[in-house]
Structure 1
């Protein structure tokens, strides 16, 4: 038996025991009280994926490998919070991660595992995920109950209120919420279903940063705005703390409504980044002038503005069925700063609760995603350019299309097993490669 197989089995066995050990206490812990002054929750997620070999006319430095591969991630996180004063909540989240992505995390726009950004290799690594303060100022309009949840203490708040979040957290903790497609630990796994694939939100390579966000709740409306730090270099871990010079700004408007007595929400999000980034057109011109393939690393020498606009819709059709849609357009003139290689994204699908077949905590999800590139990024890749995540050496451009389906089975209280399949056409926008199918098994517990 090879050493790699032994290590893989040891990682699997260790992760399975961690999953079982974390799930057992969920059976005996008492329910959270109506109002919490402090809270402690834990989650553990093991996600295993396999892709078979697929057809590829050629491959480049940043291609998805055409041979069979196995990938896995394991994360375990503690969510600790308490109320230091009235209206205030302080949260700290330490996390341990390990895992290995497909093809060194290259070769796709819509990557298949939303957990993979947090891992840094097969050896367990501990880090501080979040450390932030949330302050709520109540403004009347009646009261509503807040349920105990991850990074959320049970209590009561006014329907009209202002909430300030500041510190070390993720942009996605506040913006682009969606009841049916958001969390890759319990819902869809693909990056294009955890947020807009074209949303190049400011963050380090794990998806977190420092900054602030404000939320104004007024009746059926919510206005959100915020500024976050990004990486010193695109898609790297070290943070650029000069938030007055390099940053990601976002503004979101949300409206809640009812159609046929069923709740729904519409959100419109605009974002704008300022950072030292390469422009694809500059790289193309540089390559042509020097008789070589374009290279973004040779023209990353000036501050650029990157922006985008998106709409996010969720709508319940019944108590057991909901649908969602996300669409975003980014300007696409500059390289990716902090997320993935997508300039236009469209994702939609449905979520079905298992009540119809007597499994109230089970969920079935079906989704379709379509990712596209801007003209500048497309021409850069066609000329042989290589970017951070993709680069086949040439490009026969077609939009990248991904279908995803999952079944989440609630095995005991606080523990789920999920089967997931993703069918990918034109990986990294190249019609000369693929299609392929990725199968996944996910074990998740939280208590």
Structure 2
């Protein structure tokens, strides 16, 4: 990687968002894209342009000969069929329950395919959502950072207002096994850790020892997830509601969550914690980029006002969803009873622990993906785990936790009828 590209990657990380476009997990040939679209019943495209890269999927904007353009999402890896099928399920559900909060499907099927490097993939087609990613709008000065956090909170409330089916087969987000799923580990973490195993405690960065040997972090995060799953309001979760996964149209005001690979069901505040980790901390990667990989990163700084704005917008949105539904001509569809409560005191109390669990799991995923699974990953990707490690360090500080609790408590009981 050239020096100026490295500098750009470091600048993006300094804004609190790892630039996942630096990681190219999937490249489909033009012939394969055409074959997939024909199999989906949409016909061959006139043009296909890659929109985004990522570690487990890539998106292509396809101009069709007949009909509006579509986005072809290719999930990659051994679990690609599972990732594609679960997205079909949740996007179909949200189209009926919370229109606009997720892209509309253009086909109800998924098609197996192969990348140009021979990796298995599975593709689904959806409508092209309006707008740009919130983090890009902030970077370009089109949207204040606190306003972007409000948009994330409001959109997340719309997702959580979706009805819940007791017999759905969405992956459960709870203590035992969820961290492995997020980190893309097929077996319990204990199998991976040890001398001669993929996660060697003596590896040179010191991350494995920090994450999996010292401090009891794994069990603490699992316990936070177990406690939340047992007693807190639950429903459909996005699973990765970072600002770069929320598209917003400045012209129409429409916000749409994309990238549903980590969708699941579980405690609603889990998603709130994930959004806060992704949007409400500043990790100075410009400074960190010159530090030794074996050193501990500097603690991230909590952006308190961003967190407050996000939590208030979320709590208000969750209450408003029920209020508006009760006034609808249909008289209200069955929704999660927990949505009626708005943001609760119990959820506010659980927020710091679940934020640590989210940051911890994301750090594990980034380390495993870019040090073990892909040792040749770009420099920015290889160092990206440090951003989440820095958030974990912040969440171990009593003053930071107190600020989070204060912001969360202030969002409890927000009147859903307020604009």
TM-score above 0.5, yes or no: no
Identify the TM-score tier after normalising by the shorter chain. Answer: under 0.3
TM-score (norm 1): 0.24
Relative to its length, the structure with more helix (as a share) is: 2
Q: Relative contact order (C-alpha < 8 Å, sep 6+): which is higher?
A: 2
TM-score (norm 2): 0.25
Relative to its length, the structure with more strand (as a share) is: 1
